[in-house]
Amino acid sequence: MEHSRIPEKQGISTIHRAARLSVAPMMDWTDRHCRYVHRLLSGQALLYTEMVTAPALVRGGALHLLSYSPEEHPVALQLGGSDPEELALAARFGAEAGYDEINLNCGCPSDRVQSGTFGAVLMKDPIRVAECVTAMAEAVDVEVTVKCRIGVDEQHPEEILPGFLDHIRTAGCHRVTIHARKAWLQGLSPKENRDIPPLDYDLVHGMKAAFPDLHISLNGGITSLDQVRAHLDAGLDGVMIGRAAYHQPTDILAEADPLIFGTGKVADPIEVVQKMVPYVERHLVEGGRLHQITRHMLGLFAGRPGARAWRRALSEGAVHDGAGPEVMLQALERVAPLAEV
């Protein structure tokens, strides 16, 4: 197999380390407020944006979609698209905005995305994906990565995935995240496509054995740091977590720094709430609403005493006109005394 030269890219060793544990790109969920909360829970994990489409940036001029807080680093921008020139330009916008990595979405099965030939349907066209990666990698100094499925529709993953990985590696992608299940482009909703096609972790481990020079992260169905550790110990380079990181952020991220990265201390969700106060105040001054931030904090105490009272106080209080950080602090009073018992 032909190997491409690993290009000199900015900050590769730092971000490869951060990618030992990453929080998945999730539309409408991993916006900048969500990432800020996650960053307070883990100083080390790699955070991904929601997918931003290249046409929205390039044709729509929607550069506000690239806004983020400097505290979010290391943070990766995920792009959707299939036109190499457009993706190259969008990648450049992302790099100029300071993102640490530009990721190409080859895994999203939604109808809207299929119609624009983005996302998982690209698993059928590795040559096109390689052209996109080449154009993006030439346009930016930061690393260009891919997030993909193991296959789509009638494809046989064990047959097509090695060829797909070989194409993108030759094109200049040296880090890939593999959602370890197929996507069915017809007949299943995007939500069903995250649950119904069976997970094949062995295949992803097999890809690491076949491509030892590729940095490979596994994604799909991971719900604990113990599972993360097991996959890392078995030879994978990284694990990406989506839904569990969103719904139980403290379980996944609070112990990540000491347990996965060997540095730092366990984060306390009560302190995270307190640290959110100045962030919320800034957001309100800029005309934002409390709920836009606190909707991502509902799971902070999941599985802990007071979790239900916290969720309720926060979700009910945050939607009122003029609601401010005091809503968060009052909700915290329902949790804090219990947590100290």
Which DSSP helix (H) or strand (E) runs through 47? Answer: strand 46-53
Instruction: Give residues with Cβ within 8 angstroms of 196, minimum separation 6.
Output: 184, 188
247 is in an annotated binding site: no
* SS3 of residue 184 by DSSP: coil
Among the listed ranges 31-39, 217-225, 264-272, 283-291, the one in contact with ligand FMN (CB under 6 A) is: 217-225
Per-residue binding letters, 4-43, with ligand FMN (x by CB under 6 A): --------------------xxxx-x--------------
CB of 221 to ligand FMN, least distance (A): 5
CB of 329 to ligand FMN, least distance (A): 29
Question: Is position 134 an interface residue for ligand FMN (rule: CB under 6 A)?
Answer: no
Instruction: Give residues with Cβ within 8 angstroms of 322, minimum separation 6.
Output: none
Among the listed ranges 125-133, 164-172, 238-246, 280-288, the one in contact with ligand FMN (CB under 6 A) is: 238-246
Nearest to 211 by CA among 241, 176, 262, 179: 176
In this complex, which beta carbon is closest to ligand FMN, that of residue 93 or of residue 246? 246
CB of 148 to ligand FMN, least distance (A): 9
124 is in an annotated binding site: no
Distances (CA, A) of 118 to 99, 113, 185, 189, 294: 21, 5, 12, 16, 31
Q: Which of 39, 167, 169, 194 binds ligand FMN (CB under 6 A)?
A: 194
147 is in an annotated binding site: yes
**Is 108 one of the catalytic residues?**
yes
243 is in an annotated binding site: yes
How many CB atoms sit inside 10 A of residue 212's CB? 9
CB of 34 to ligand FMN, least distance (A): 11
Q: Which of 44, 82, 219, 294 binds ligand FMN (CB under 6 A)?
A: 219
Count how many Cα atoms sit within 13 Å of the Cα of residue 329 in the half-sphere of its side chain. Answer: 11
Q: Which of 22, 42, 82, 105 binds ligand FMN (CB under 6 A)?
A: 105
How many CB atoms sit inside 10 A of residue 111's CB? 10
- Residue at token pair 């190259």: 88
Count how many Cα atoms sit within 13 Å of the Cα of residue 148 in the half-sphere of its side chain. Answer: 28
CB of 78 to ligand FMN, least distance (A): 6
Burial of 115 (0-12, 13-18, 19+ CB in 10 A): exposed
Q: How far apart are the first and last CA of the chain?
A: 60
* SS3 of residue 175 by DSSP: strand
Per-residue binding letters, 74-103, with ligand FMN (x by CB under 6 A): ----x-------------------------
Q: Which of 84, 221, 269, 299 binds ligand FMN (CB under 6 A)?
A: 221
Among the listed residues 34, 106, 108, 132, the single catalytic one is 108
Per-residue binding letters, 49-68, with ligand FMN (x by CB under 6 A): -xx-----------------
CA atoms 232, 222, 39, 47: torsion sign: positive
Backbone angles phi, psi at 154, to 5 degrees: -85, 5
- Distance from C-alpha of 99 to C-alpha of 102, rounded to nearest angstrom: 7
Q: Radius of gyration over alpha carbons of the chain, in Å?
A: 20
Interface residue list for ligand FMN (CB under 6 A): 24-27, 29, 50-51, 78, 105, 107-108, 147, 179, 194, 219-222, 241-244
Annotated binding-site members for FMN = 25-27, 78, 147, 179, 219-221, 242-243
Supply the residues annotated as catalytic: 108
Annotated binding-site members = 25-27, 78, 147, 179, 219-221, 242-243
